[in-house]
Structure 1
């Protein structure tokens, strides 16, 4: 039986990215070996979107929140850089934020049914 999912974010500067998830987002973690941090993810869900063949198998990371405006304000106060304005995407309010050393990820407030809290 499947017991979990392990997400990998590739980073040019893994130490900076790890510090972001540890110190800015405050995610709990274990040290698997000599500073190789593995973070506890928030509750998660998986969506499968149709794609053209070149994008098949591609994965993206979007963090979810209940109040995007308040979350953006809190993260900005911690020095987080946002790479886009908040937009209404229909299915939710969306913005993108910079992960130091690892590009950008999405942050959104869903307006769709969610699966992360199903039993």
Structure 2
């Protein structure tokens, strides 16, 4: 088990903590660490600790009202086979916010949780070893 100091924590403000728990555990492989719904939940995937804060949570109450809507920030989840993940999630009824985009670093697609917070699924490009320099 990863200790509390080994986690990277991200707080997402959500409208419905139970719906967020179901989404992250049911679709993206997170496990519940703390469930204090309807106010708060703490879900974990690897070393990512995602704090799901409902409207009654202290995390949501301390956030100024003018910045509580989701923006372009997102968590970034690395996957081995992006096409397979897209197919699996579409079969589960998950809708994507973008089409797949491919660049020199890899391929990615965006989806959103029930509150509209963005998640990026990313498959790194295959890296081939560079040829040794010849002198």
Identify whether the pair has TM-score above 0.5, normalized to the shorter chain: yes
Q: Which runs of 4+ in 1 moved over 4 A?
A: none
Match of 2:41 in 1: 37
* 1:37 Cα deviation after fit: 2.5
For the aligned residues, what is the CA RMSD? 2.5
Equivalent of 2:122, from 108, 114, 117? Answer: 108
* 1:43 Cα deviation after fit: 4.8
Unpaired runs of at least 5, structure 1: 45-57, 114-119
Match of 1:17 in 2: 20
Query: Paired residues, what number?
Result: 99
Unpaired runs of at least 5, structure 2: 49-71, 128-135
Q: TM-score, normalised by structure 1?
A: 0.68
Secondary structure of 2:45's match? coil
Please tell me whether Structure 1 or Structure 2 has the larger radius of gyration of its CA atoms. 2
Structure with greater strand share of residues: 2
Q: Distance in 2 between matches of 1:43 and 1:9?
A: 16
Q: Distance in 1 between matches of 2:47 and 2:103?
A: 22
